[in-house]
Structure 1
């Protein structure tokens, strides 16, 4: 019975990166032996255990055989006779197929160290094409290590295209697709996750609403990058540079989907794309089973992002309607998510990455102003019921008018 450190921990150690979690493979053991040593079983599909002291995962060495469709379409053999080399052979990428016994030398039967040095994401064997989830995993690794110069090997892209064309991606559950997409969105270069999926044809299968933005033009005066999908990628990169949370990043992902439904005769203008985008944002979030907050912020940003861009031009009444839609007074954190996504959208244009976005500060000040309205004082004037609500709205709109006048006067 031998334990080997495997996968990401070995890879990141060799890259000189911080190791956040360690996974181990156990060779020559049975589940009964693991239990007798105090390990806690957690694996549903194959034997995985939690170490009684370190809390790290220990999996029995296993082989797998394709027996059906999708991520779960495999049968596993985790007998004590399975060797470390056989276990490493079933892994997705060469850089994830290295191992090390504590205190021992690197075990690298598939050229993982070579590909680390060459900055290649390359599949271990042709069995890669048996698991459609690996298409998303490779895209995610490309997003994670793009800053180090990693790219996907052409032969691996070929297998990914085959998987995309085969219909296998349709057998992935929404939960698995969302889990990988959520991780991809939170990487240092989230745009690369979607760009790799586009490159291998998977984006057209999993997110056709996003894929159809390719080749859709926008007015050059506002979008020097022209292509709407390029704009999406630039805006997604801004979400990472700004350190935005998942909800805001998802909102940026879906904020312009409606432009893909604009009739070509209307290009490069996209009149009323906001409402179309809101409907598609809700559709995508529902299909992927994204968290409710992602769905809600995504729909709000899709519907109102141009309001935010034009904040200094809006009437006070329109600003208050926007705040009511956002529930900004009671939920200031929602306003911050909205503003962050809108700023990433504004910066996500060719040559605009360093531009100031005063609209965000203006709307923060405006929300602070309406939040300071003394409701008790208005109630003391004798207003009740619907009349009270109207009086409060009127007071808030009055403050917004004063703020706008002051802001425009003081602005250069």
Structure 2
């Protein structure tokens, strides 16, 4: 039943008693450089130990009872699982035909239909029931379609939709959150992320893994928005990646959640004759934080994504000094914030022309990098102002650093004069006005 698909070498070390299988072979045949290697082995632990002797790295027993082991060696990840039955039987248990491949003695073999799927770049399940053997397989299918540019034929979409309904009705069958997070992160970090998210919605999987975002589907916005909220969200993500292809995960998550609060804040305003969404950035930030923490994303990623969502509606001021002060106060969000703001405008109709001046003004204002440290130390500030250690010293240093950021202070001498003026102004504000007889 196995078909010869190609004659080619496998450019990685293969332990004795192990057979390269799955996605690495698929990637090689599609012209990609694989970093995740899968091996089916008669003795997975022994094969993993042998590979460790060759590659070094760290060996993890993922599930020793089932014989699943993982070796992480630099950029390579090698997974070892038991070879149960014949190689053909092993392939018949796999998820998609493009993954049902094995390598033996310089030749790649696959199931019937695998070569056609590879040539036509299609994703077809080996058997639909195989999706239910591992509940993550439908989500992985969408991720593979996005990362590899594979098409989903109608029957595959229907199979994924049926699996989504099964997961909706059987929440106890849902995969571990950590596994879901890994697949979603891989999807978001690929250049076709908007297409992958579109597939999630079309197959019903969006409601399984990101249910809070389903309320954006079909949500009319009006005003400067010519797209419903979900299509606008995908457009923002598309434009973010167009403007900034190397955008990190937190920026992509912020694009995904930037309007998540709109369904909860939608109110009709009779004065303007349309719906408004006051406070949606703050609500969306809290929704993003709750959802992403639940999916076990790293705390730093979650906090930054939520902060970007909260600040995406801020309007940058005009003038170099004011603009430098604006971005200095949001320096932990740079350069993601102006790119997100520009992408949000490009995805609307009527304000898209604002995107280019916004980015140009940001780049022009920050030609001189923002300061990292104040020109005077805490000890120098205390000596100059006659202060003891305490909160007032930190307040003075923050004021000095902000003055440096806007360009008002450029030398230590200017820093000393600034702090003396700052102290005098602060003292004057704290001195009560004299009483007047009345």
Does residue 42 (structure 1) correspond to residue 70 (structure 2)? The answer is no
Secondary structure class of the residue paired with 2:220: coil
CA RMSD, aligned part only? 3.7
Per the TM alignment, residue 257 of structure 1 is displaced from its structure 2 partner at its CA by 0.8
1:256-267 residue pairs with structure 2 within 5 A? Answer: 256-263=259-266, 265-266=268-269, 267=274
Per the TM alignment, residue 52 of structure 1 is displaced from its structure 2 partner at its CA by 13
Does residue 187 (structure 1) correspond to residue 190 (structure 2)? The answer is yes
After superposition, what is the alpha-carbon deviation per residue over 1:307-334, rounded to whole angstroms, capped at 9, x for unaligned? Answer: 2xx112599899868755x5x3xxx5x5
Equivalent-residue separation in structure 1 for 2:217 and 2:403 (angstroms): 44
Per the TM alignment, residue 213 of structure 1 is displaced from its structure 2 partner at its CA by 0.9
Secondary structure class of the residue paired with 1:296: helix
- Equivalent residue number for residue 142 of structure 1: 145
Matched pairs, number: 368
Secondary structure class of the residue paired with 1:285: helix
Does residue 155 (structure 1) correspond to residue 177 (structure 2)? The answer is no
After superposition, what is the alpha-carbon deviation per residue over 1:130-158, rounded to whole angstroms, capped at 9, x for unaligned? Answer: 13211110110111123xxx221221221
2:236–2:344 Cα contact (<8 Å) kept: yes
Per the TM alignment, residue 86 of structure 1 is displaced from its structure 2 partner at its CA by 0.9
CA distance change for structure 1 residues 102 and 165 in 2, over 3 Å: closer, same or farther? Answer: same
CA distance change for structure 1 residues 371 and 43 in 2, over 3 Å: closer, same or farther? Answer: closer
1:272 alignment partner, one of 258, 279, 297: 279
1:195-274 residue pairs with structure 2 within 5 A? Answer: 195-221=198-224, 223-224=225-226, 226-241=227-242, 242=244, 243-263=246-266, 265-266=268-269, 267-274=274-281
Per the TM alignment, residue 176 of structure 1 is displaced from its structure 2 partner at its CA by 1.7
Secondary structure class of the residue paired with 1:24: strand
CA distance change for structure 1 residues 400 and 126 in 2, over 3 Å: closer, same or farther? Answer: closer
Scaled by the length of structure 1, the TM-score of the pair is: 0.76
Q: Which runs of 5+ in 2 are unaligned?
A: 1-15, 53-58, 409-438
Per the TM alignment, residue 275 of structure 1 is displaced from its structure 2 partner at its CA by 1.0
Secondary structure class of the residue paired with 2:334: helix
Secondary structure class of the residue paired with 1:295: helix
Equivalent-residue separation in structure 2 for 1:355 and 1:321 (angstroms): 18
Q: Which runs of 5+ in 1 are unaligned?
A: 63-81, 404-412
Secondary structure class of the residue paired with 2:201: helix
Does residue 123 (structure 1) correspond to residue 140 (structure 2)? The answer is no
Per the TM alignment, residue 32 of structure 1 is displaced from its structure 2 partner at its CA by 8.5
Equivalent-residue separation in structure 1 for 2:136 and 2:261 (angstroms): 28
Secondary structure class of the residue paired with 1:152: coil
